């Protein structure tokens, strides 16, 4: 595990962070499924990767609840990983103002069974406009307050659409940026955002290096990229990339992970892991030697057909 520092925050992170958006999904309290998810979470908490990424709304709170149960089982002293989380809009009303930020953080702490986290992100602020977030009593006020009062050490903006993300980064308020599915083998649209964040000394998390799965499972799997259907043209490009990787004796998944790991723009790459089996595989992919000659051969394929344009427009539109 290579340790890095999150931008100029001084906070240590590993080059890989474990993402838990699917952990505990659909599990009922007290069920056998919950027990299996907690066992996986114990492995995440006691493994070699020092940070776990979750959110108030992952699995309607079940990701945090399962992590909280696992943390209670392991005991904070024996956990080798820390937990970062995110504040979310009210799931019923869509409200996402200063007061909702405070409530969301309290809910997260209760589920996790901790009294603070170091890193807290404002997550997917799509139910409000940027102007609403920035007005007095808005979500940005809540985030600033949490940092100023020492309730958290650093605050981040975590979302998708690059134009919207750029506006949040340009406020100068945030210490950290987290983008997803937009700095991968097939989509590099977050590159300028990350460069701007770097210029400002911000920490950079690059989430979803597998495009939510396809770049790990390969071109024969369900045609989906970044939670949307993938076009036949994109699938054909991925099949060609897979062949180039095979010619170099490297799995596509390893190339997809190392594309992000090798970038100087990225402090830590967040990979979605919801089972102990995937954790073992992640360690293997992380340790895979990638021949230098792979990268120019992948570049020679030319840019992949853009996977996410409509999604950006959709996510930029306020939901309420």
Ligand X SMILES: NC(=O)c1ccc[n+]([C@@H]2O[C@H](COP(=O)([O-])OP(=O)(O)OC[C@H]3O[C@@H](n4cnc5c(N)ncnc54)[C@H](OP(=O)(O)O)[C@@H]3O)[C@@H](O)[C@H]2O)c1
Site residues, ligand X (CB under 6 A): 19-22, 53, 123-124, 158-159, 178, 180, 207-213, 216-217, 253, 270-272, 274, 278, 281
- Of 11 and 279, which CB lies nearer to ligand X in the complex structure? 279
The secondary element (H helix, E strand) that includes residue 101 is helix 98-112
Closest approach of Cβ 276 to ligand X, in Å? 11
In this structure, are residues 221 and 172 in contact, taking their beta carbons and an 8 Å threshold? no
- Of 136 and 288, which CB lies nearer to ligand X in the complex structure? 288
Closest approach of Cβ 215 to ligand X, in Å? 7
Q: Is the dihedral of CA 249, 254, 260, 262 positive or negative?
A: negative
Closest approach of Cβ 136 to ligand X, in Å? 26
- Of 148 and 284, which CB lies nearer to ligand X in the complex structure? 284
Closest approach of Cβ 3 to ligand X, in Å? 19
Nearest to 249 by CA among 292, 298, 291, 278: 291
C-beta nearest to ligand X: residue: 272
Closest approach of Cβ 291 to ligand X, in Å? 20
- Of 9 and 56, which CB lies nearer to ligand X in the complex structure? 56
Distance separating alpha carbons of residues 103 and 89, to the nearest angstrom:
10
- Of 60 and 75, which CB lies nearer to ligand X in the complex structure? 60
Strands 16-19 and 268-272, bridge-based pairing? parallel
Nearest to 47 by CA among 213, 293, 277: 277
- Of 203 and 211, which CB lies nearer to ligand X in the complex structure? 211
- Of 21 and 56, which CB lies nearer to ligand X in the complex structure? 21
CA-to-CA separations, 103 to 57, 59, 86, 142, 209, in angstroms, rounded:
13, 18, 12, 10, 31
In this structure, are residues 2 and 256 in contact, taking their beta carbons and an 8 Å threshold? no
Give the DSSP per-residue string, 252-276: HHHHHHHHHHT-TT-SEEEEE--SH
Closest approach of Cβ 163 to ligand X, in Å? 15
Closest approach of Cβ 14 to ligand X, in Å? 14
Distance separating alpha carbons of residues 13 and 134, to the nearest angstrom:
29
């Amino acid at each position: 595990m290579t340790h890095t520092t999150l931008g100029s925050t001084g906070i240590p992170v590993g080059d890989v962070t474990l993402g838990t958006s699917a952990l505990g999904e659909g599990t009922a309290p007290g069920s056998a499924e919950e027990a299996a998810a907690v066992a996986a979470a114990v492995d995440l908490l006691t493994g070699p990767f020092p940070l776990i990424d979750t959110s108030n709304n992952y699995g309607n709170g079940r990701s945090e609840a399962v992590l909280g149960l696992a943390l209670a089982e392991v005991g904070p002293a024996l956990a080798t990983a820390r937990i970062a989380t995110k504040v979310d809009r009210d799931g019923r009303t869509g409200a996402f103002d200063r007061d909702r930020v405070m409530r969301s953080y309290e809910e997260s702490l209760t589920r996790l069974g901790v009294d603070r986290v170091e890193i807290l992100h404002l997550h997917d602020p799509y139910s409000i406009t940027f102007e609403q977030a920035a007005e007095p009593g808005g979500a940005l006020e809540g985030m600033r307050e949490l940092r100023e009062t020492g309730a958290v050490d650093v605050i981040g903006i975590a979302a998708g659409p690059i134009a919207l993300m750029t506006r949040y980064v340009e406020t100068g308020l945030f210490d950290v940026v987290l983008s997803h599915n937009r700095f991968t083998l097939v989509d590099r649209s977050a590159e300028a955002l990350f460069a701007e964040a770097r210029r400002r000394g911000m920490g950079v998390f690059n989430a979803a290096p597998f495009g939510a799965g396809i770049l790990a499972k390969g071109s024969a799997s369900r045609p989906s990229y970044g939670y949307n259907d993938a076009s036949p043209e994109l699938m054909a490009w991925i099949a060609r990339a897979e062949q180039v990787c095979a010619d170099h004796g490297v799995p596509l998944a390893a190339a997809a992970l190392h594309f992000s790991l090798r970038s100087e723009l990225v402090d830590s790459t967040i990979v979605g892991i919801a089972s102990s089996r995937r954790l073992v595989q992640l360690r293997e992919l992380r340790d895979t030697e990638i021949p230098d000659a792979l990268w120019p051969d992948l570049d020679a394929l030319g840019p992949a057909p853009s996977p996410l344009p409509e999604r950006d427009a959709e996510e930029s539109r306020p939901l309420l």
